[in-house]
Every structure is written in structure tokens, then in C-alpha cells.
Amino acid sequence: MVLLLIPVVVLVGGCKSSSSNATGSGTDQSIPADPTGTAADSKAEDTTCPTSNTTAFAKTKFVAHSGLAFGAFHRWLYKPLKAGTFKKGAKGRITAFVKGGLAALFVKREVRLALVDAKANPTLCKTISVPLGKLGDTVQSAFDKLKSGDSSGVDGLNTLISQTESSSKSQGVEITENENGDLTKSPS
């Protein structure tokens, strides 16, 4: 795990971090942008739904992936935001941003996998795929806003997650958040 975090630490360590604040007692540290945005992120969503399951255990896999995504979001982004850890001068701010950045990538990946599974089930496809797709598209921009001090993106994601969980529950598929996802797991 330490070897996986070395590139992240090197990336953060190479950022500017020398201008002092008005009181002269702290530093203003830049947080790097995510370089992984691709043209595939802006593709139009496929809105056709199957008439029967096209993947074995689609609901089960949907619940697992969305539970990991939502749990990681709340553990590494939402709770630290509410605790004030992302504010300038906060103790552990840089560590929170590094973990938050890893969590944003993890959430984006798990939401993408959950969306594939939701689209494989006729019931979930009709009710969950649109809000889940929107959630996956806005994770990175919410984190980027957070780096500049704007928490509205994270608050908006929290609302969207709550709506997705509610819609899923109304279809008889309850999502249980799992805050213990392995953020260092390599995307497949």
C-alpha cells in the first residue's frame, strides 16, 4: 500500500507551497488537478433498457458497487468536509485532499461499474441509470470545486446520492453503504 501512495505523495510534494497567509503563520498549498479526464467521460448515455436481465446477479453487483461508492464518498469527502478538514489552515488538510482525490477516482469507478449493472436490469435501468450516470459525471468536478474552497459540489453529490438510494429502495433494492472500500485497488 505504501508503494501505491508514493506517486501521490510525490505529486503533491511537487506542488507550489510557499506563499504565506495574512498572519504569516501558515502556508497556502496547491492541490493538483486530476489528469485522468478523457473524452470517454463526455460520451452520451445509452438510455435503452433491456426487457430481462442481461447480466447474472445484476442487482447484487449494483448494490455492492454503489454501496462501496457511496460509503467512500461519505467517509473520505463528505465527513471531512463537514468536519472542516478541507479548509485552509486545517490540520491534516493535504492528507485529506490526497485521500479525497483517491476517493473521488474510486467513487467514479464504482459508480461506473454500478451503472453497468443497473443497465443490465430492466427495473433498475428505468429508475436508477439516469441519476447514477449524472452522479458519476459530477464526482470529479465536485472535487475540483472543493479544492478551490467551494463545497457546493460535494453537497450536491450528497443530495444526489440520497435521491439515488431512495429511488433504489423504492424499487426494492436497498443500498447499504460500505465505508471500507480499498482506495488503492487498481481500476480494471
- The per-residue pLDDT for 84 is 94
* Greatest Cα pair distance in the chain: 64
Rounded percentage of the chain residues whose pLDDT exceeds 70:
73
Q: Give CB contacts under 8 A, 24+ apart, made by 52-58.
A: 52/122, 53/120, 53/121, 53/122, 54/120, 55/116, 55/117, 55/120, 55/121, 58/117, 58/118, 58/120, 58/121, 58/124
- Determine the average pLDDT of the residues in 48-67: 90
| Per-residue pLDDT reduced to its tens digit, 85-100 | 999 999 999 999 999 9
| Per-residue pLDDT reduced to its tens digit, 25-36 | 444 445 545 445
CB of 175 closer than 8 Å to CB of 169: yes
Q: Which is more confident, 24 or 158?
A: 158
Alpha-carbon torsion, ordered 67, 68, 73, 75, to 10 deg = 100
- Determine the average pLDDT of the residues in 149-169: 93
CB of 58 closer than 8 Å to CB of 103: no
Grid coordinates representing 108?
467514479
Q: Is residue 180's pLDDT more than 70?
A: yes
